[in-house]
Amino acid sequence: MKVFEKLKEVALQKKRTIIFPEGNDERILKAAARIQADGYANAQVAGKTSEILEVAQKNNINLGDVSIIDVEKYPHLEKMTQDLVELRHGKATLEQAKEMLKTPPYFGTMMVYEGYADGMVSGATHSTADTVRPALQIIKTKPGMTRVSGAMIMERESEKYIFADCAINIDPDSETLAEIAYQSARTAKMVNIDPKVAMLSFSTKGSAKGPMVTKVQDAVKIMNEKHPEILCDGELQFDAAIVPKVGKAKAPNSKVAGHANVFIFPELQSGNIGYKIAERLGGFQAIGPVLQGLAAPINDLSRGCNTEDVYLLGILTAAQANME
């Protein structure tokens, strides 16, 4: 079953409310209208009503039953402002909180926090940092999680993989890599992938030495000690992780080598570069980043996203809300 066929089934189990706070973007409006019409979620778009309607009219978008939230006239705005001040524990005055809520990521995140929405999709016109910052300040991490990471769901015909971290942690230490691996294994299960986790490196099983290799080796030890129920191995070069013949030659005793489907990159730059090469040259569809470890479904779009990306990430977010 394709990744999103499974997620569509989950999203339909209970119709959740998903907020798209960048409501003046054509891609957002088209995707929100489609999600609403297809019945996968109750779609909300936020912004200035006049601007939203202008973009919709200009691009012949029929919003149908999509809810338009006017950020300047929203009846719960005062409560959201006061709650944000309390959440920031003295780090934001009332006036500062009002200014923060004028930005789409903060407004959308507070909608989720207050329970007016079950999940949020943002990032079409804002950076990952702008999306993640309010999520960390307001929603925070799930019990047992100490970090947030960003995974990409990669799909091409019958092939499907998880790549992480592709968005958040610039230079993760061994503990962080292990937590990213665990979070990514959970994401894999969510999209019907039986996780086989490869901790990637430029070395396979000690073929090279150095602190970058040791970091990955230590992460594998931590992951296997904390979560022995999840198949995880490394350090592995990418070819050893995915090509059976190479995996057998380079890591003959590994249960993961040659068969991995969850790939944990040693730092952000290789993860981000890797997924974009797979997408642009390999023909994979890349959905995400899926923000892992948060206490509520909040997901980030690439600013280079198209309408289909928004649509699919909206369905994923609705499905996540049904899995919480």
Contacts of 180 (CB under 8 A, 6+ apart): 147, 149, 164, 165, 169, 172, 264, 292
Q: How many domains does the structure of the chain reveal?
A: 2
The one-character DSSP state at 142 is: P
Clarify whether residues 166 and 187 are in a common domain: yes
Q: Which residue has the tokens 């890591």?
A: 251
Structural domain contains residue 289: no
pLDDT on residue 50:
95
pLDDT on residue 321:
93
Buried b (16+ CB within 10 A) or exposed e, 47-77: bebeebbebbeeeebebeebebbbbeebeeb
Clarify whether residues 73 and 131 are in a common domain: yes
Structural domain contains residue 285: no
Nearest to 275 by CA among 166, 158, 184: 166
Sign of CA dihedral 281, 286, 288, 292: negative
Clarify whether residues 102 and 167 are in a common domain: no
> Which tokens go with 136?
């960390």
**Calpha distance 171→216 (Å, rounded):** 12
Q: Please say whether the beta carbons of 202 and 223 come within 8 A.
A: no
> Which tokens go with 152?
């990409």
Structural domain contains residue 287: no
The one-character DSSP state at 255 is: S
Sign of CA dihedral 56, 57, 61, 62: positive
Structural domain contains residue 108: yes
Residue 192 sits in which domain range? 149-280
Q: What's the CATH number where 191 sits? A: 3.40.50.10750
pLDDT on residue 1:
58
Q: What's the CATH number where 92 sits? A: 3.40.50.10950
Over its length of 324 residues, how does the chain's per-residue pLDDT go in tens digits? 577 888 899 999 999 999 999 999 999 999 999 999 999 999 999 999 999 999 999 999 999 999 999 999 999 999 999 999 999 988 889 999 999 999 999 999 999 999 999 999 999 889 888 888 999 999 999 998 999 999 999 999 999 999 999 999 999 999 999 999 999 999 999 888 999 999 999 999 999 999 999 999 999 999 999 999 999 999 999 999 999 999 999 999 999 999 999 999 999 999 999 999 999 999 998 887 888 999 999 998 888 889 998 999 999 999 999 987
**Calpha distance 162→4 (Å, rounded):** 14
Q: Please say whether the beta carbons of 180 and 172 come within 8 A.
A: yes
- What global pTM score does this model have? 0.84
Clarify whether residues 132 and 37 are in a common domain: yes
Q: Other C-beta atoms within 10 Å of 176: how many?
A: 19
Structural domain contains residue 128: yes
Clarify whether residues 272 and 164 are in a common domain: yes
Clarify whether residues 18 and 132 are in a common domain: yes
CA distances from 155 to 111, 259, 265 (A): 31, 16, 18
Structural domain contains residue 288: no
Clarify whether residues 45 and 85 are in a common domain: yes
Q: In this structure, which amino acid lies at residue 287? A: I
Structural domain contains residue 290: no
